[in-house]
Amino acid sequence: MRIGLRPVMLLTGFVLPVFAQERDSVEMNLRLENIVIVGESRQKMINRASALAVEVVDKKFLQQHFTGNLIQTLEHLPGVSSMDIGSAFSKPMIRGMGFNRISVTENGIKQEGQQWGADHGLETDAFNAEQITVRKGPASLLYGSDAMGGAIEIAQLPPPPDNQLFGEVVALGTSVNETLGGSAMLGVRKDAWYVKLRYSEQHFADYRIPADTLVYLTQQMPVYGRRLKNTAGFERDVSLYTRYHQGGYRSVYALSNVFQQVGFFPGAHGIPDVSRLRDDGDRRNIDLPYNWVNHLKVSSRQEYVLDGAMASWDLGYQHNYREELSLFHTHYGDQTAPAENPDKELAFSLHTYSSSAKLRLFHSSVWEHTAGWDMQYQQNRIGGYSFLMPAYKRMTTGVLWLTTYRPNTVFSLSGGIRYDYGKMDSEAYSDPYLENYLRERGHSGERIEAYRWRSYPVNRSFDDVSGSIGFVWTPDGMNQLKSNIGRSFRLPGANELASNGVHHGAFRHEQGDPGLPSEQGWQWDLSYVGEREGISLSVSPFVSWFENYIYLRPTGEWSALPHAGQIYRYTGAEAVFAGGEASFAVDFLQFNYSLTAGYVYTYNVDERIPLSFSPPAQIRNTLSWTGGHMQAYAELQSIAAQHRIARNESPTPGAQLMHLGASLSLAVGGTKAEVSLSVRNLLNTAYYNHLSFYRKIEIPEPGRNFRLVIKIPFKSNLK
């Protein structure tokens, strides 16, 4: 059965006059460079400007929940989930959508890497995240194709108001994987110039789990010493941020490089083997199999403000390079090891060039308009003795028009429309070893021809329209109601169009469809926020309908490839997402009690089953106490069981987790040091993350984890 609704709308105006967190602060400071705003938080200001549900993460939140892993920090927000790969890698999900459906930007440039893979994390320095905005719902209007599920904006704090030399030193330690890490930042503000340099590093050992065994295909396998072997690793990051501001001209330059090297648990890479799981006596070594990634990002922003108009131009370049190394092995007897780098199983080298130009007109006190043009070019190259993703070239470009009508401070109506064009050129790849393997086993010529192409030749163009319309009504300082309806889209990726082979990390044969159309859908959001003398309440329901939601569909056809199992084919289906988030908080005496909850319902209309990777409902009850320079909290995290699963997914039982934490400000040498101590999973509960890469082989999440963070800031005024 298919839903017969085909909405037709006239899309005018502007739904989100604020583009990104960096743009928020830039535009605000251009008008209010020397004005101190009192009585309204940044959260309230952004919510007044946006018809979508928005969460603003401030310094206090980041300090309280900091783990060294940015996405695991953000999962404390209702509606945001963390898809984990052990203790080191995580990727974000918003309202049940992840991968290439979530746009992550840093300093105004969209982060580009291997977002398509569940075993690939987000390569960004968690220490360098100073302010974050999470936009829930359709953001294709602002960010293009890869933001139909929402956006996470990472930006720098505004510079200090006066000339000064400043910085900070941060130390991090955790018990579950014996992390030793830290970060040092040095900055200077001198007249029109503002410069910051940061260096961060983390080293961690094999992490502990509250279990002695794991299960793969009904086979029980030991976990020696309750440590997950070969999950140790390290991360090393450096970044430079420079800003120049003089009159109506402002320029920003940012450079960052993130390097990570982490081992793969041998039982989750290829076919698990008990002999590979034996304890090697060294919990900090990184042995085969392992992966390393280096993400270089360079960006610049130029701005001009002239009499009610602002023009801006963003340029960016990224190089995401990733290698997966595993002792040379072959499923075909006639494949020999390469003469050079024989253990390099896979390599991806992704170059991304991006450009974005905007013209904003705000000369009227009632009307505001923005015109924009975005362009991106990508080139992916591959290597290694195995094969997973094809080499490809991808180009996208889009134009947008945004308008907002704000007759007073109580009501605003906003909306916009955007047109995008994209082109994908994926190279074909034929595997001669596989061809010989199939021929020796007597397969027909037709079957050999179908399998030997590990990636199909694809040369296709796409175009689509997105847009939305919404309102924000703030009748007084205690109530706010807003709603938004939008059409969003996403261009299919190279893996969805061209892949054809075994993804060993996911234990299955994945097959693309060169004829897939782009994803298209309609999404509606409603949000209410109310505040009354120390009491606050917010409710944000949503409904999304997709005409062609792309997912991996089990075909029931057994693959002819060795150790492959069933074929999963990328397929478009009609799909529905629904749910919402709610929060409640009350202050009394020196205490604050808060409750946050989130729920996502997914439904594949064509198959009449839920979609895969549907996050379970969660509730967090938190009691906090503040007294002088000290704060403490206790939290009960309730995770519901997830029995609404797709085919070949396992149901996941629920869990009750206890967390405790405290922080203290101490006067040290003329500055205030901030010390935070917390313990996650206090009762060492064995539980599963339904979204985890390791869920398939029944590896529970990390056990009890003590975390210590010490932060020492410093500053010195300059003349």
Dihedral sign, CA of 246, 247, 249, 250?
positive
More confident residue, 576 or 629: 576
Q: pLDDT band at 27, cuts 50/70/90? A: very low
135-171 tens-digit pLDDT: 888 888 888 878 888 899 998 888 999 999 999 999 9
Distances (CA, A) of 147 to 94, 569, 605: 10, 23, 23
CATH architecture of 21-717: Beta Barrel (2.40)
Q: Give pLDDT, residue 445.
A: 87
Neighbours of 222 (CB within 10 A): 13
Neighbours of 415 (CB within 10 A): 27
For 406, the token pair is 């704000």
Q: Give pLDDT, residue 475.
A: 93
Q: Give pLDDT, residue 526.
A: 94
Q: Is the pLDDT of residue 431 over 50?
A: yes
State the average pLDDT over residues 331-352: 87
Nearest to 402 by CA among 10, 4, 2, 16: 16
Which residue shows structure tokens 């706010």? 480
Q: Give pLDDT, residue 117.
A: 67
Dihedral sign, CA of 62, 64, 67, 73?
negative
Rounded to an integer, what distance in angstroms lies between the CA atom of residue 242 and that of residue 46?
Answer: 25
Q: Is the pLDDT of residue 243 over 60?
A: yes
Rounded to an integer, what distance in angstroms lies between the CA atom of residue 594 and that of residue 538?
Answer: 11
- Helix 445-452 / helix 432-440 crossing angle, nearest 10 deg: 150
For 493, the token pair is 């990726």
**Residues 6 or more apart in contact with residue 587 via CB below 8 angstroms:** 534, 535
Q: Give pLDDT, residue 87.
A: 63
Q: Is the pLDDT of residue 569 over 50?
A: yes
Least confident of 15-29, 287-301, 427-441, 633-647: 15-29
Distances (CA, A) of 695 to 505, 608, 715: 12, 24, 46
For 2, the token pair is 């298919």
Check if the beta carbon of residue 63 is closer than 8 Å to that of residue 76: no
Which residue shows structure tokens 């393997």? 437
Omega prior to 289 cis, within 30 of 0 = yes
State the average pLDDT over residues 617-639: 95
Least confident of 33-42, 168-177, 533-542: 33-42
Q: Is the pLDDT of residue 134 over 50?
A: yes
The percent of residues in the chain predicted with pLDDT above 90, rounded, is 52
More confident residue, 18 or 632: 632
Count of positions (residues) in the chain: 719
- DSSP letter for each residue of 383-410: ESSS--S--EEEEEEEEEEEEEE-SSSS
Check if the beta carbon of residue 136 is closer than 8 Å to that of residue 150: yes
Q: Give pLDDT, residue 542.
A: 95
Neighbours of 719 (CB within 10 A): 4
Rounded to an integer, what distance in angstroms lies between the CA atom of residue 264 and that of residue 292?
Answer: 11
Least confident of 205-219, 222-236, 537-551: 205-219
